[in-house]
Amino acid sequence: TPRERQQAGVNHRLFFSQVALCDNLIFSRRAAVDRLSQRLMDANRTIGQPNKLTVIFGRKVSRYHAGKLQTVIEDLDLPNPVIRSHYKNGFIKQYVRDQANLRTEPATNNVTDYGVGKAVENLPELRDKLSAIIDRYHDVQQDILESFVDRGQLLKLTQPTILSNGKRVPGLKLDHPRQLALMQALVRFSHISAQDSFSTAEVHADTADALGRTTANYTLASLRYDLSKLRAKGFVERLDKSRRYRLTSEGYRICVVYLKLFQKIYAPLASAILKPFNADSQLQSFTTSLLDRLYRTVVQALDLLVDAVGIKVA
């Protein structure tokens, strides 16, 4: 009993040896967390600078500092390497766990580094300290705009579309000459379109010319087949009770992306155009990476171009 232990002079207390706390961001798809993890690692290689580690751990770094003070990338042989920032006897690391879990985890074997006593009675204070370290680590990292993380939109464009009647329409290929020629004709035609619409006959010659063919060996039937792929994806709409069509706002921008931008730019821009995240617009530009600012500029420029040529937003 407590009384007997007191009389015998026997007592015990519990102390921390090694502690860790983790924050988990769980994704529904492994591909999404893979791409986000790669973007975070590329954008935050300078996170090991002393001024940033001071912010993260909330402790001043002076010339009397003892212990590690660096950021390293470990397990390079794994699909998702670990980025680890050291401070004295502890560290904080970020890595992918259990397929779709982006984990941020501070740990230490000497809690006094964070100004906390080793007795377990200090657990609430220690938990608050480690939680604050996680929050500051996220704050120091450059923001990655979710709109520009490839979530499979480009892959979906290349896959066949199954219509409501069961008809299978081939997808859009990045290097299909006829498809790219039609896109070029549609984009060119939008500049002179007075009625915000077109017929297949009106774009026939431009498409054949872009292919280096004549209208005799690139027939209207072939053009209608190529146009059906864009219609199946919702990029071209047929006007009610007519044989005329309209290129949608999304369709115009996708045509420009396919025609003008390099292969490594296709995936993030298609994601941002087809499925943007509204919350991204609330982030300040100075908190985002240079690459995301350039992506945002391209999307905004395309929006301005759509307005300038008189294409209505779908």
DSSP reduced 3-state for 150: coil
pLDDT the model gives residue 224: 94
Residue 157's region, left for phi above 0, alpha for psi from -120 to 50, else beta, is alpha
pLDDT the model gives residue 164: 87
Torsion on CA atoms 243, 244, 249, 254, rounded to nearest 10: 70
User: Residue 97: exposed, middle, or buried by beta-carbon count in 10 A (0-12, 13-18, 19+)?
Assistant: middle
Which residue segments constitute the domains of the chain, with CATH numbers given?
Answer: 12-141 (no CATH), 153-308 (1.10.10)
Angle at which helices 177-190 and 200-211 pack, to 10 degrees? 130
Name the residue with higher pLDDT: 196 or 142. 196
Q: What is the pLDDT of residues 113-131, one digit of tens each?
A: 888 888 989 899 999 989 9
CA torsion sign for 206, 207, 211, 215 is: negative
Cα 222 to Cα 159, 168, 184: the distances in Å are 20, 17, 16
Angle at which helices 290-308 and 249-260 pack, to 10 degrees? 120
Question: Which of 5-19, 25-39, 112-126, 256-270 has the highest mean predicted lDDT (pLDDT)?
Answer: 112-126
Question: Which of 53-67, 133-147, 270-284 has the highest mean predicted lDDT (pLDDT)?
Answer: 270-284
| % of the chain exceeding 90 in pLDDT | 14
pLDDT the model gives residue 219: 95
Say yes or no to pLDDT of 15 above 70.
Answer: yes
Please, are residues 56 and 137 in contact by the beta-carbon 8 Å criterion? yes
Q: What is the pLDDT of residues 51-76, one digit of tens each?
A: 555 555 655 555 655 556 667 777 66
Question: Which of 66-70, 96-100, 246-250, 307-311 has the highest mean predicted lDDT (pLDDT)?
Answer: 246-250
Question: Of the ranges 85-94, 154-163, 257-266, which one carries the lowest mean pLDDT score?
Answer: 257-266
* Residue 47 confidence class, pLDDT cut points 50, 70, 90: low
Say yes or no to pLDDT of 49 above 60.
Answer: no
Question: Which of 63-77, 88-102, 137-151 has the highest mean predicted lDDT (pLDDT)?
Answer: 88-102
Say yes or no to pLDDT of 194 above 50.
Answer: no
pLDDT the model gives residue 263: 38
- Segments in 116-262 forming alpha helices (H): 123-140, 153-158, 177-190, 200-211, 220-232, 249-260
* Encoded tokens for 24: 């988990």
pLDDT the model gives residue 309: 58
Q: What is the mean pLDDT of residues 211-222?
A: 92
Question: Of the ranges 88-97, 138-147, 209-218, which one carries the lowest mean pLDDT score?
Answer: 138-147
pLDDT the model gives residue 195: 60
For residue 187, which of 262, 253, 232, 235 has the smallest C-alpha distance? 253
For residue 247, which of 300, 202, 286 has the smallest C-alpha distance? 202
- In total, the chain counts a number of residues equal to 314
Q: What is the mean pLDDT of residues 88-94?
A: 84
For residue 296, which of 229, 288, 84 has the smallest C-alpha distance? 288
Say yes or no to pLDDT of 148 above 80.
Answer: no
pLDDT the model gives residue 147: 57
Say yes or no to pLDDT of 112 above 70.
Answer: yes
Could you tell me which residues come within 8 angstroms of residue 170 by beta carbon, excluding any fewer than 6 positions away? 160, 229
